[in-house]
Structure 1
Amino acid sequence: MGKEGESNNVVEQQQQPLPSPSKFPLSFWEATMASTVALVFVMGIFCVYLTMPDSDYSFLKLPRTLQELQLLRDNLESYTSDYTAQVLVGYCVVYIFMQTFMIPGTVFMSLLAGALFGVFKGVALVVFTATAGASSCYFLSKLIGRPIIFSLWPDKLKFFQSQVAKRRKGLLNYMLFLRLTPTLPNTFINFASPIVDVPYHIFFLATVIGLIPAAYVTVKAGLALGELQSVGDLYDFNSIATLFLIGIVSVTPTLLSKNES
């Protein structure tokens, strides 16, 4: 048989078909676990709220437009200087919660980090919270994710599973490529990785390193928040081309080693 036959057997074993989902994605135990995790985040946000001074906090809501984000930034600027710890903890809890449960809008949170804390602190904050949120999503998916992801993204899951199986030897480079480029949505990568057996240490390293370029672009844009007309202005052709170039460089060693073998 030789090495080629053995590698084919390994790929076949790693590409075993995933089980079909039930009509209702979650069992009672799985739904209870997800609800418990959500409750912990809600309690964390409430504890932060209790430490803030009495005031009108009607402006505190997840921004869905740039106008809402600018209003939130304007109101939080004064609090950030006087209640830095509370704002930081509240920001982290909200961002990690959104990442854990795949709630859209983290791009607005990244812009807010730049507007409130500047480029370097903002990038560090975004990379930390995004990595923590992605890790939280990874472990939650490990517990309850299989039926959900098979219901939501069956075709993407099969594609991702086959790619991971083929690139097992250079998996870190491949995961870096995915993080650096918009090939697959980050929310999908977070939720699907444990299902297709991406080891956590590889998932973690690829997330920490791979999110830095996009975080820098977004956080820097937050400094000039008033000049943005739409979220689409964040990623022009040059920005996307640069991210793809970095992603191609990251995956090149894997492609070269594959050709040599």
Structure 2
Amino acid sequence: MVVVEMGGQLLHRDEENTESRTGKKLKVEKSPLSRWEFAAALGVFLVFLTGLFCIYLTMPAAEYGELRLPRNLSELRVLKDRLATFAKDYPAKFILGYCSIYIFMQTFMIPGTIFMSLLAGALFGVIRGLFLVVFNATAGASSCYFLSKLIGKPIVNWLWPEKLRYFQAGYFFL
């Protein structure tokens, strides 16, 4: 394989790959993820999505229109009042749903976990809320780490190989 720089772009030429318009053979870049890595990442996402959908289906019909992700503290207070009755009527289902949503948001780095943490303290009290938040944040961050380790490294190697070599060489400390 030969690497040629033309016009600021790196072209990879290989004798076994397809020909370009000029008659030179160029390497066709394939996906950075193997089929197994892609299937595992998609499986994790679908498991989370299926769990959240099942929780959504088991909620009482009257609650659907009133639930929104809070964007400020006043909306958080309104959400807390609406969820307090549901938490008292269905405690196990509510805690399972809360944990699933928190871990999903933490795993896929969706903003709003700070409001979920405040909501835990408001709904469950300081001690129970603290334990729920610590458990969920740890589980979500661990899940994010392992998902990143599974699919992040090949994607970074594929998208930014020069920058990765630069940081691995340690030139950024100079």
Please give the range of the TM-score, normalised by the shorter of the 2 chains: 0.5 to 0.7
- Rounded to whole Å, the distance in 1 between the matches of 2:72 and 2:104 is 19
Aligned: 1:125 with 2:132: yes
Whose strand fraction is larger, Structure 1's or Structure 2's? 2
Tell me which residue corresponds to 2:55: 48
Greater RCO, CA 8 A, separation 6+: 1
Tell me which residue corresponds to 2:33: 27
- Rounded to whole Å, the distance in 2 between the matches of 1:125 and 1:24 is 42
Whose helix fraction is larger, Structure 1's or Structure 2's? 1
Match of 1:65 among 67, 72, 77: 72
Match of 1:141 among 121, 128, 148: 148
Aligned residue type for 2:43:
T
Tell me which residue corresponds to 1:103: 110
CA separation of 1:33/1:112 partners in 2, compared to 1, >3 Å: closer, same or farther? same
CA separation of 1:94/1:24 partners in 2, compared to 1, >3 Å: closer, same or farther? farther
- Rounded to whole Å, the distance in 1 between the matches of 2:32 and 2:110 is 18
- Rounded to whole Å, the distance in 1 between the matches of 2:30 and 2:108 is 18
- Are 1:100 and 1:137, in contact at CA under 8 Å, matched by a contact in 2? yes
Deviation at 1:70, TM superposition (A): 2.2
Identity level (%):
58
- Rounded to whole Å, the distance in 1 between the matches of 2:31 and 2:73 is 35
Aligned residue type for 2:91:
T
Deviation track 1:70-91 (CA, whole Å, cap 9, x = no partner) reads 2221210111111111110111
- Rounded to whole Å, the distance in 1 between the matches of 2:126 and 2:155 is 36
TM-score, with length taken from structure 2: 0.66
- Are 1:96 and 1:132, in contact at CA under 8 Å, matched by a contact in 2? yes
- Are 2:67 and 2:79, in contact at CA under 8 Å, matched by a contact in 1? yes
Deviation at 1:130, TM superposition (A): 0.6
- Are 1:44 and 1:93, in contact at CA under 8 Å, matched by a contact in 2? yes
- Rounded to whole Å, the distance in 1 between the matches of 2:144 and 2:55 is 22
Aligned: 1:76 with 2:86: no
Aligned residue type for 1:27:
L
Deviation at 1:37, TM superposition (A): 1.2
Deviation track 1:50-107 (CA, whole Å, cap 9, x = no partner) reads 3323314123233233233222212101111111111101110111111111112111
- Rounded to whole Å, the distance in 1 between the matches of 2:84 and 2:108 is 27
TM-score, with length taken from structure 1: 0.46
Give the unaligned 5+ runs of structure 2.
1-28
Deviation at 1:28, TM superposition (A): 6.4
Give the unaligned 5+ runs of structure 1.
1-22, 163-261
- Determine which structure has more spread, i.e. the larger CA radius of gyration: 2
- Are 1:99 and 1:137, in contact at CA under 8 Å, matched by a contact in 2? yes
Instruction: State the SS of the aligned residue for 2:59.
Output: coil
Q: CA-atom RMSD, angstroms?
A: 2.8
- Rounded to whole Å, the distance in 1 between the matches of 2:70 and 2:62 is 20
- Rounded to whole Å, the distance in 2 between the matches of 1:102 and 1:48 is 20
